[in-house]
Structure 1
Amino acid sequence: MTSGVKWPAFKRPLVAILRGIRPEETAGIVDTLVQAGFEAIEIPLNSPEPFRSIEIATKRAPAGCLIGAGTVLTVAEVERLADAGGRLMVSPNVDADVVRAASKKGMVTMPGVFTATEALLAASAGASALKFFPASVLGPSGINAIRAVLPKGMEVGAVGGVSERDFDAYAKAGIRIFGLGSSLYKPGATAAEIGAKAHTVIAAYDAAFGGAGQ
């Protein structure tokens, strides 16, 4: 099994997924999310000028905030992400070469999985955490069933169709990492609108996990 970069010790392991964000919006929205309490931000590569937005976000966010890309499919994209200063690599699939390339760059990696086969392949490639997607289909019980066969200590997250309304159910299953996309951010939303939603999400997380997921 390849050893990768460990998943960070976040106060709240919530990843804000900003699919569709434009570069000119990035600074204000990143500021808003960080002020609300988010420590990880993902800008998917099928957004307009994603690497430019990632570069803006990395310069804007404080040192402890993890900024990176989603929908990373190739080693070449990993290279561009590194050039933009990104430290988080999220993918919709498991490509061992992509995971290893990102790990070699010192990135936190979170490949997408749905089955035990995919999850074990990602773990063997050195993934920092597994992105169970779409989590709304598997649910807490489905993710837990697969987690039973994973290496001890393997971090797992729920992404896809998950909102703050689901935190309690996942908390009962011991799942504390979430990627929040359309439930948090939709293209065209203002920083003020996103800020209000972000504060609601943070409050719900603290309520479900006893004051910040610890």
Structure 2
Amino acid sequence: MDLLAELGARRALCIIRAPIIPDPVGLARTLVEAGLPIVEFALTTPDAPRLIEEAARVEGLILGAGTVMSEQDARDAINAGATFLLTPGLRPAVAEEAVRQQVPIVLGAMTPTEVATAVDLGATAVKVFPAARLGPAYFSDLHGPYPDVNLVATGGLNAENAAAYLAGGAIAVTAGSGVVGPKLAAESRLAEIAQRAKEFLAAIG
């Protein structure tokens, strides 16, 4: 799986973070059918490795694990079926494990120095967080010194503002609670999630 090619083609990925996810297979299938197949299950969700293992059965799903904080987290997620990893900030041990296992990793960063460090650690792409606080122009600014770094905009994005970050130079944007709200996931309100996913994708063109 070429994560950069998928991000460039899809331009969006979905973050799932909830106190409980009773139907990970149905949720994953709903997102794939809505046109949002790149999905990250955050490890802050209880029993996340099991959820990843179950969701991995869904055809067409490009499955990742997010909020990966340690080398053991990385191993658990990969063993469960995650095909890419994301971190909220710079996590050298996670990056080392991902590179060792040849699994794409998106490292979190905010400052120009952190972006450079993420690249040095072997990041496939760099997740800039919190994007909504930094603004779309910040992505254009980062591409001044780092024209070839693939940036993913994360944090506070929704159907109203996400397109501006793509226009600013992000390779992709994240759909979080605006699409898969914790309550919607916990209650398996899949039709509503599908509608929100379609609205998000329509908004980013």
TM-score using structure 1 length: 0.87
1:178 aligned onto 2:204:
no
Name the amino acid aligned to 1:90.
L
Of 148, 156, 165 in structure 2, the residue corresponding to residue 153 of structure 1 is 148
Q: How far apart, CA to CA, are the structure 2 residues paired with 1:97 and 1:203?
A: 38
Identity fraction in percent: 28
1:164 aligned onto 2:139:
no
Contact 2:150 2:171 in 1 (8 A): no
**For residue 35 of structure 2, what is the aligned residue in structure 1?**
37
Contact 1:46 1:71 in 2 (8 A): yes
Unaligned runs of 5+ in 2: none
Deviations 1:11-54 (A, max 9, x none): 31311101016352211111110001112101111102100111
1:59 aligned onto 2:54:
no
**For residue 26 of structure 1, what is the aligned residue in structure 2?**
24
Aligned residues: 199
Contact 1:78 1:89 in 2 (8 A): yes
Q: How far apart, CA to CA, are the structure 2 residues paired with 1:182 and 1:6?
A: 22
Task: Give the stretch that moved more between structures: 186-195 or 164-173.
Answer: 164-173
1:1-214 aligned at under 5 Å gives the runs 7-10=4-7, 11-20=9-18, 22-62=20-60, 65-150=61-146, 152-189=147-184, 190-206=189-205
Deviation at 1:88, TM superposition (A): 1.5
RMSD: 1.7
Name the amino acid aligned to 2:169.
G
Q: How far apart, CA to CA, are the structure 1 residues paired with 2:51 and 2:3?
A: 25
- Runs (4+) of structure 1 exceeding 4 A deviation are none
Q: How far apart, CA to CA, are the structure 1 residues paired with 2:35 and 2:3?
A: 21
TM-score using structure 2 length: 0.90
The 3-state SS of whatever aligns with 2:93 is helix
Deviations 1:61-101 (A, max 9, x none): 42xx3211111010111110111011110111112221121
The 3-state SS of whatever aligns with 1:53 is helix
Deviations 1:136-189 (A, max 9, x none): 111111222123222x42210110001121133223323240111111111231
Name the amino acid aligned to 2:152.
G
Decide whether aligned partners of structure 1 residues 89 and 162 sit closer, same or farther in structure 2, where only a CA change above 3 A counts.
same
Contact 2:67 2:86 in 1 (8 A): yes
Name the amino acid aligned to 1:180.
A
Q: How far apart, CA to CA, are the structure 2 residues paired with 1:202 and 1:6?
A: 19
Unaligned runs of 5+ in 1: 207-214
